[in-house]
């Protein structure tokens, strides 16, 4: 497994150029170290031992209760249609998750009436 990981670090094209068996080895190695817990599970752990999750300020770290609300947007039919078109186009995009920051057009490229 270590040889596969070392090979992956030397690839110039990153994981795109990795062999499928090397990717499988990497996923297997990561799965051994990753622990996934839900908010409810984490809060249960805090409840069992609150002092272990206490900040220097005295506050106990935990996920807050979530209270969802539904409300009407009263959008027009044309807005609903446009949102559907945007959603369809967005679902066809590939690689969009690689952007870490929001993309903005420079002011010089914007329509002067929209600034």
Measured CA to CA, the distance from residue 80 to residue 41 in angstroms comes to 38
Contact 54, 46 (CB under 8 A): no
Q: Does position 4 have pLDDT exceeding 70, yes or no?
A: no
Q: Does position 114 have pLDDT exceeding 60, yes or no?
A: no
Average pLDDT, the chain: 81
Which pLDDT score is estimated for 103? 61
Higher-confidence position of 36 and 45: 45
Measured CA to CA, the distance from residue 12 to residue 22 in angstroms comes to 15
Which pLDDT score is estimated for 17? 72
């Amino acid at each position: 497994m270590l040889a596969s990981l070392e090979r992956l670090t030397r690839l110039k094209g990153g994981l795109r150029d990795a062999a499928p068996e090397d990717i499988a080895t990497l996923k297997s190695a990561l799965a051994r170290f990753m622990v996934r817990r839900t908010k409810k599970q984490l809060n249960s752990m805090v409840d069992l031992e609150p002092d272990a999750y206490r900040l220097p300020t005295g506050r106990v770290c935990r996920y807050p209760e979530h209270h969802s609300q539904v409300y009407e947007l009263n959008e027009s039919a044309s807005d609903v249609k446009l949102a559907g078109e945007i959603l369809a186009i967005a679902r066809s995009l590939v690689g969009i998750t690689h952007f870490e920051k929001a993309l903005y057009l420079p002011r010089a490229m914007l329509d002067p009436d929209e600034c």
